[in-house]
Structure 1
Amino acid sequence: MALRRPQPLNDLGRRLVRPVLLAVSTVLLIGALLVATVSPVIIDALYRGERDFSRASNIGQAYGAASALLAALALTVVSASLVVQYSQFRYERLQTVYQHTEDLVKLAIENPQYCQCWGSRMSPEHVDERLFYYCSLVIKSWTRAWERGGLTEREARNFLKSFFDSEVPRLFWQRHGDWHLYRKARTRAGRFMVLVNEEYLIAIKSGPPSRSHEPAPHIGRPGGRGTQRTE
Structure 2
Amino acid sequence: MKSQRAQWLLWCMVAIGLLILIFLTPLALEKVAPSQKDWGRLSAVSQTYGALSVPLSAIALLGVAASLAYQAHQTKIATEEAERSSHRQLLMYSLDHPEFLVCWEPVAGMPSADEMRRRIFTNLIIANWHADYLLRRWNDQHARAVLNVHFQGELARKHWEQSASVWRRTAEASGDRRKIRFVDLADESYAIAVETGPGVPPENYFADPS
Q: TM-score, normalised by structure 1?
A: 0.70
* Separation in structure 1 between the aligned mates of residue 108 and residue 150 of structure 2, nearest angstrom: 17
Q: Which residue of 1 aligns with 2:15?
A: 25
**Residue identity matched to 1:110:** D
Say if 1:138 and 1:93 are closer, same or farther in 2 by CA, change over 3 A.
same
Superposed CA RMSD in Å reads 3.3
* Separation in structure 2 between the aligned mates of residue 111 and residue 17 of structure 1, nearest angstrom: 46
Q: Is structure 2 residue 98 aligned with structure 1 residue 109?
A: no
Instruction: Tell me, yes or no, if the aligned pair for 2:18 and 2:60 is still in contact at 8 Å.
Output: yes
Q: Which residue of 1 aligns with 2:208?
A: none
* Separation in structure 1 between the aligned mates of residue 79 and residue 168 of structure 2, nearest angstrom: 30
**Residue identity matched to 2:93:** L
Instruction: Tell me, yes or no, if the aligned pair for 1:145 and 1:151 is still in contact at 8 Å.
Output: yes
* Separation in structure 1 between the aligned mates of residue 203 and residue 154 of structure 2, nearest angstrom: 6
Say if 1:213 and 1:122 are closer, same or farther in 2 by CA, change over 3 A.
farther
**Residue identity matched to 1:186:** R
The range that moved more, 148-157 or 124-133, is: 148-157
Unaligned runs of 5+ in 2: 205-210
Q: Which residue of 2 aligns with 1:228?
A: none
Instruction: Tell me, yes or no, if the aligned pair for 1:123 and 1:172 is still in contact at 8 Å.
Output: no
Q: Which residue of 2 aligns with 1:126?
A: 111
Instruction: Tell me, yes or no, if the aligned pair for 1:18 and 1:85 is still in contact at 8 Å.
Output: no
* Separation in structure 2 between the aligned mates of residue 138 and residue 177 of structure 1, nearest angstrom: 14
| Larger-Rg structure | 1
* Separation in structure 1 between the aligned mates of residue 151 and residue 11 of structure 2, nearest angstrom: 44
* Separation in structure 2 between the aligned mates of residue 165 and residue 33 of structure 1, nearest angstrom: 64
Identity %: 25
* Separation in structure 2 between the aligned mates of residue 108 and residue 211 of structure 1, nearest angstrom: 24
* Separation in structure 2 between the aligned mates of residue 16 and residue 151 of structure 1, nearest angstrom: 20
Residue-by-residue CA offset, 1:24-54 (whole Å, 9 max, x unaligned): 2221111111114444x2696488256xx4x
Say if 1:46 and 1:85 are closer, same or farther in 2 by CA, change over 3 A.
farther
Unaligned runs of 5+ in 1: 1-9, 215-231
* Separation in structure 1 between the aligned mates of residue 132 and residue 199 of structure 2, nearest angstrom: 26
Shift in Å, 1:14: 4.5
**Residue identity matched to 2:56:** L
Shift in Å, 1:166: 2.6
Shift in Å, 1:103: 0.7
Q: Is structure 2 residue 155 aligned with structure 1 residue 168?
A: yes
Q: Which residue of 1 aligns with 2:207?
A: none
Q: Which residue of 1 aligns with 2:189?
A: 199
Instruction: Tell me, yes or no, if the aligned pair for 2:154 and 2:202 is still in contact at 8 Å.
Output: yes
**Residue identity matched to 1:22:** C
Q: Which residue of 1 aligns with 2:62?
A: 76
Say if 1:13 and 1:190 are closer, same or farther in 2 by CA, change over 3 A.
farther
Q: Which residue of 2 aligns with 1:89?
A: 75
**Residue identity matched to 1:125:** M
**Residue identity matched to 2:191:** L
**Residue identity matched to 2:60:** A
* Separation in structure 1 between the aligned mates of residue 182 and residue 35 of structure 2, nearest angstrom: 63
Q: TM-score, normalised by structure 2?
A: 0.76
**Structure in which a larger fraction of residues adopt helix:** 2
Q: Which of the numbers 177, 181, 187 marks the counterpart of 1:186? A: 177
**What are the residue-to-residue correspondences of 1:15-54 with 2, within 5 Å?**
15-39=5-29, 41=30, 45=34, 48-49=37-38, 53=40
Q: In the comparison of the two structures, how many residue pairs are matched? A: 198
